[in-house]
Amino acid sequence: MAQDEFNPRILGFLCNWCCYAAADAAGVSRYQYPPNLRTIRIMCTGRLDPAFVFRGFAEGADGIFTGG
Amino acid sequence: MSNTDFLGLDGKPGNFTARLRIRPRYIDADKCTACGMCTQYCPRHLVDEYNEGLALTRPIHIDYPQAVPASYFIDPEACLHLKHGTCKICVPVCQTRAIDFDQQPEEVELKVGAAVMAPGFGRIPDTALEQYNYGAHPDVVTSLEFERMLCASGPFEGELRRFSDRRHPRNLAFIQCVGSRDLGCDNGYCSSVCCMYAIKEAMVAKEHEPELEITIYYMDMRTQGKGFDAARARAEAMGIKFVRARVADVMPWEDRLKLTYATMDGGHYFEAYDMVVLSVGLDSPADAAGLADRAGFELNHYDFCRTSTFAPLQTSKEGVLVAGAFQGPKDIPESVTQSSAAAGLVSALAKKDRGKGYVVKDYPEEQQLADDEEIRIGVFVCHCGVNIAGVVDVPNVDQYVEGMEGVVYHAQSLYSCSQDAQEVLKQKIKEHNLNRVVMAACSPRTHEPLFQETLKDAGLNRCLFEMVNIRDQCSWVHANEPKAATDKSKDLVRMGIAKARHIKPLPEQTVPVIDKAMVIGGGVAGMTAALSLAEQGFATALVEKEGQLGGHLKDARYTMHGEPVEKTLKDLVARVKKNKNIEVLTDTELVQLNGYVGNFSSQLKSRKGKGGETTVDHGIVVVATGGREHRPEKVLGSPVDYSAKVITQNELEQRLSGKAKNRAPNSVVMVQCAGSRGDDLAYCSKNCCNNAVKNALKIKEINPESQVVVLYRDLRTYGYAEDAYRQAREKGVLFVPYSMETKPGLTTGGKTPKVSFYDPILRDDVELKPDLLVLSTGIVPEDTQELSRLLRVPINEDKFYLEAHVKLRPVELPVAGVYVCGLAHSPQPVEEIVVQAQAAAAKAAIPLVKGYVSVEPTVSTVDQSLCIGCGLCESLCPYQAIRMFKDDNNKRKAETVTASCKGCGICAAHCPVFAISMGGFTDEQITAQIEAFGA
């Protein structure tokens, strides 16, 4: 079964002021979530050039998460 | 100073001694890393007061994750050691040795020039809740409890269940005015916030449980705040029901609750609910009397702080100010506004001591890096005691970076944020000649400034630092998956190192601020703001379009509390004219505004004579252009012919304060919301109900025989104005509600005005021919459309200025250095205008006091050799922080106004030729991170 399990690699772009802060707060409150996300902090999701999303997929991401 | 009691205030204004007692927290806040280990080991349970008693915590705890300081504390009444001399399990558990049972209470004296009282509000007594079966039935909860129940980070993670049987409720009812507008518990006032929070809670509950049916039982829906009526409309669109009724009681009924209520027409009904939420009001703080006694100021008859209309934050004791709900029940924006205003008033009182007592820190000279300098990265991986190392295999992560490109040194540390770790960091930077530092530890949001400070101490530019979050966003959230957490840490560290290879030193920029303020508008808001700025020591140009100061307050005659308006206004004008710091420019208007925060330049044009133009340079601008009484041509569908018998509320006030014999005739009808709340204007003007009640009382005072009928939709005498509403009813003023389905009909053309309306008590149509028909017509802002273009600031759909943040930055506009107050912001009574003007002056004084604006290194920069001058960035920037100019070759180019830039990067993401770069977040750096993600 284990080999069939989909274990996606997700790349996240998090706004410093909201989503990144929320992700910190999730930690402080010890909420548990799957360890599939790798994050990049940006100062605002306005910074998210669509090219970053394409590059993320090109680098092997199974999904891109943005939070802002 | 948290955990501290205020014991007393001695001395005189400007030279007080405040006596304080610091209670022991039994934890050294400097050593505590807020890891939470102590709470996990503490063996005793304690009811969690922060969560309204709905959860359990331990005697050693922190109230909530965002608490300031972020340090735990011990409740001495519950701790086994402090109570019984046993236990002490927490002491060895705490890895930073922060627990200190030897701490003793300490009394300190502070020399202060002024004091601000901001104790907030208290709780409505349980006796007022028991009539609704609160305490006896588990499914009757207060709105405060309901708030915690709905909170995603609360004890139930936002999942709504009944306490009685853990079932999801199918329907629930809110009961408004519990402990407010209730003489039974001596709270005759309206708490002002409950209608709005009930709507908010209902909407959140509906989002969590879409099938849930919600009914709000209310007397008057008092959503008078800016944008609040729109929120009510959204709630109705979501299916939330509003029923105007008084709830008599709430009784258990099988496994549900039976709610009995009476409607306006006298009908009695009952309905069954799964849950009942009591919208509890705001009471005065528990120790209000003690506080007033210790500080020496007076309370009002509801045990809140006594103040007056034109000095709303001044207590009865000079040098002692008040802010927030203790001044009177109020919402967040008003509380924030009051706190800013109080700070500004204190700043004026303490002006002569400004700038004293500072110690300026010295840093070693910054090491210069050549462009081709070898990249020497030091990587530090933090254990954070067991916080990281208990989950993540820290030695493994540390070893993983060995040999990575650019990494010349790597190490682990037990607590990277400790004082000795900073010394080690400095030493290693020198020893290994490091020119980039990667710190894998907690969150940059909390600890980046600390490490950057250490870099500066070591002679490195603070931007040569990259932080990797392997605690808050890794070990803490993957506590049961050590392998996966270690893999994630390695990936994140690899990505951080990849970025670090591309980071560059960035300059520390400051922009000087011209030491002068400009205030536009010479009404009560503008004059108050100008006076407050002048009293804080700043030269201020006060620009007024008309020939004289005073604005529309000139038209007002008396306040609800009987304070004379004319004399107060005259005194205010005199104080403004006398103040040497204020330059009054009447008959003058703004025609152009250039520049940015700290460095504005305004073209002013005289409206008199030849209309000469002058230029004023200033650092900030306060917009106080006011508003005026609306004069709708149609009211509730009927055309209006204004005449001596058909007048506005303002005209009535002038008539009543005149000398005419028949100024208060025998029959008067007032129509509320005439041209407001969707009739002509979309919004509620917040003032008209108060004015109607005020004038109705005046009529009754002059002519007790007069029959006064007020036709209204929701009577919004919020706060203490509820007293006047009650008095008016006691004096025989008739208040008759109408709805938009049963609109009154107005006939105004003829000799005598006619009003026909449906009376819900008589259940019949009534026609009156009053001597006087008074329309409560609302307020419109003055010239905001034109001025907003000059200032390049946004206005909302109702043409009032749109503040930077509705709750947290209520007097700032999105463009840095531009502030707003008064009726240009929103309709509001004069008491709130005064506070808002003082708040705008306080906020505006910040750059003036500093003398410069600090620019974060994360701002944008435009490479003008690449820029094609398309102007896309300028049009997209929400902060007016990019402007176009012509370069030496007459080519259009963009440039960043660094003082206004917030570093959001919208410009960089949209530039078609990649000419814009963000400090610390360049395309190169982010791309390197993405590539390292894939590696």
Per-residue pLDDT tens for B905-914?
999 999 999 9
CA distance to partner chain A, nearest, from residue B64 (Å): 9
Q: Mutate one of B473, B483, B805, B907 to test the A interface: name it (highest A CB count within 10 A).
A: B473
C-alpha closest to that of B328 among B118, B116, B564, B565: B118
Report DSSP state, residue A43: S
**What class, spelled out in words, does domain B630-778 have in CATH?**
alpha beta
How high is the pLDDT of residue A29?
A: 81
Tokens 């258990």 correspond to what residue?
B252
- Chain B's closest residue to A53, CA to CA, is B930
Q: What are phi and psi of B803, to 5 degrees?
A: -70, 165
Could you count the other beta carbons within 10 Å of the beta carbon of residue B169?
20
Instruction: Sketch the domain layout of chain A as residue ranges.
Output: 2-67
Domain B377-478 indexed as CATH 1.10.20: no
Q: B194 burial class (0-12, 13-18, 19+ CB within 10 angstroms)?
A: buried
CA distance to partner chain A, nearest, from residue B477 (Å): 4
Could you count the other beta carbons within 10 Å of the beta carbon of residue B612?
10
Tokens 């966003």 correspond to what residue?
B473
CA–CA dist B560, B442 (Å, integer): 55
- Chain A's closest residue to B858, CA to CA, is A43
Q: In which band, very low, low, confident or very high, does the pLDDT at B360 lie, cut at 50, 70 and 90?
A: confident
Domain A2-67 indexed as CATH 1.10.760: no
Angle at B423 between CA B420 and CA B425, to 5 degrees: 110
Q: Decide: B533 and B844 in contact? Cβ < 8 Å.
A: yes
CA–CA dist B848, B618 (Å, integer): 10
CA–CA dist B144, B279 (Å, integer): 8
pLDDT for A2 beyond 60: no
C-alpha closest to that of B881 among B867, B893, B897: B897
Radius of gyration, alpha carbons of chain B: 31
> In A, what residues contact B, Cβ < 8 A?
9, 11, 16, 20-21, 23-33, 35, 37-44, 46-50, 52, 55-56, 58-61
How high is the pLDDT of residue B354?
A: 86
Q: B372 burial class (0-12, 13-18, 19+ CB within 10 angstroms)?
A: exposed
Q: In which band, very low, low, confident or very high, does the pLDDT at B238 lie, cut at 50, 70 and 90?
A: very high
CA–CA dist B308, B690 (Å, integer): 16
How high is the pLDDT of residue B418?
A: 87
Report DSSP state, residue B686: S
Q: What are phi and psi of B190, to 5 degrees?
A: -95, 135
Contact list, A43 vs chain B (CB under 8 Å): 858, 903-905, 918, 921
**CB-CB under 8 Å, A59 with B930:** yes
Could you count the other beta carbons within 10 Å of the beta carbon of residue B910?
17
How high is the pLDDT of residue B68?
A: 85
CA distance to partner chain A, nearest, from residue B918 (Å): 9
Point out the least confidently predicted range of A3-17, B77-91, B318-332, B427-441: A3-17
**CB-CB under 8 Å, A35 with B934:** no
Could you count the other beta carbons within 10 Å of the beta carbon of residue B890?
6
Q: What does B233-299 look like in DSSP terms, one character per residue?
A: HHHHHTT-EEEEEEEEEEEEETTEEEEEEEETTS-EEEEEESEEEEEE--BPPTTHHHHHHHHT--B
How high is the pLDDT of residue A1?
A: 46
pLDDT tens for residues B451-472? Answer: 999 999 999 999 999 999 999 9
pLDDT for B414 beyond 50: yes
Report DSSP state, residue B471: I
CA–CA dist B712, B288 (Å, integer): 36
CA distance to partner chain B, nearest, from residue A21 (Å): 7
CATH number of B127-280: 3.50.50.60
pLDDT tens for residues B546-591? Answer: 999 999 999 999 999 888 899 999 999 999 999 999 999 999 999 9
CA–CA dist B816, B819 (Å, integer): 8
Contact list, B446 vs chain A (CB under 8 Å): 24
Contact list, A35 vs chain B (CB under 8 Å): 474, 477-478, 481, 484-485, 487-488
C-alpha closest to that of B276 among B171, B360, B411: B171
Calculate the CA B490 to chain-centre distance.
Answer: 40
Average pLDDT over every residue of B28-56: 93
Q: Decide: B520 and B498 in contact? Cβ < 8 Å.
A: no
CA–CA dist B147, B166 (Å, integer): 17
Interstrand relation of B509-512 and B852-855 (parallel, antiparallel or unpaired):
antiparallel
Contact list, A44 vs chain B (CB under 8 Å): 902-906
Round the average pLDDT of chain B to a whole number and report it: 95
Q: B597 burial class (0-12, 13-18, 19+ CB within 10 angstroms)?
A: buried
CA–CA dist B30, B353 (Å, integer): 29
CATH number of B24-104: 3.30.70
Per CATH, which fold does B516-626+782-853 belong to? Answer: FAD/NAD(P)-binding domain (3.50.50)
Q: What are phi and psi of B519, to 5 degrees?
A: -120, 125
Tokens 């791309």 correspond to what residue?
B927
**CB-CB under 8 Å, B445 with A21:** yes
Angle at B211 between CA B207 and CA B217, to 5 degrees: 80
How high is the pLDDT of residue B933?
A: 97
Interstrand relation of B916-918 and B56-57 (parallel, antiparallel or unpaired):
unpaired
In chain B, the percentage of residues whose pLDDT exceeds 90 is 91
Average pLDDT over every residue of B662-687: 95
CA–CA dist B871, B508 (Å, integer): 27
- Chain A's closest residue to B917, CA to CA, is A47
CA distance to partner chain B, nearest, from residue A2 (Å): 15
Kindly give, in sequence order, each residue whose CB lies less than 8 Å from that of residue B225, ignoring residues fewer than 6 positions away: B196, B331, B333, B686, B826
Q: Decide: B50 and B67 in contact? Cβ < 8 Å.
A: no
pLDDT tens for residues B592-606? Answer: 999 999 999 999 999
Q: Mutate one of B71, B856, B904, B927 to test the A interface: name it (highest A CB count within 10 A).
A: B904
Q: Which two tokens stand for residue B850?
A: 């500093």
Average pLDDT over every residue of B725-737: 97
DSSP H helices, B657-716, are 688-702
**Residue ranges of chain B assigned to CATH 3.50.50.60:** 127-280, 516-626+782-853, 630-778
pLDDT tens for residues B155-209? Answer: 998 999 999 999 999 999 999 999 999 999 999 999 999 999 999 999 999 999 9
**CB-CB under 8 Å, B930 with A52:** yes
> In B, what residues contact A, Cβ < 8 A?
34, 36, 65-66, 153, 443-446, 469, 471-474, 476-481, 484-485, 487-488, 491-492, 495, 858, 902-906, 908-909, 918, 921, 923, 926-927, 929-931, 933-934
Contact list, B473 vs chain A (CB under 8 Å): 23-24, 26-27, 39
Q: Mutate one of A24, A53, A59, A62 to test the B interface: name it (highest B CB count within 10 A).
A: A24
CATH of B856-934, one of 3.40.30.10, 3.40.640.10, 3.30.70.20, 3.20.20.70: 3.30.70.20
Contact list, A29 vs chain B (CB under 8 Å): 65, 153
Contact list, A61 vs chain B (CB under 8 Å): 933-934
Closest residue to B477, CB basis, from A27, A40, A55:
A27
Q: Which two tokens stand for residue B346?
A: 């204190």
DSSP H helices, B657-807, are 688-702, 721-730, 784-791
How high is the pLDDT of residue A3?
A: 59
How high is the pLDDT of residue B348?
A: 92
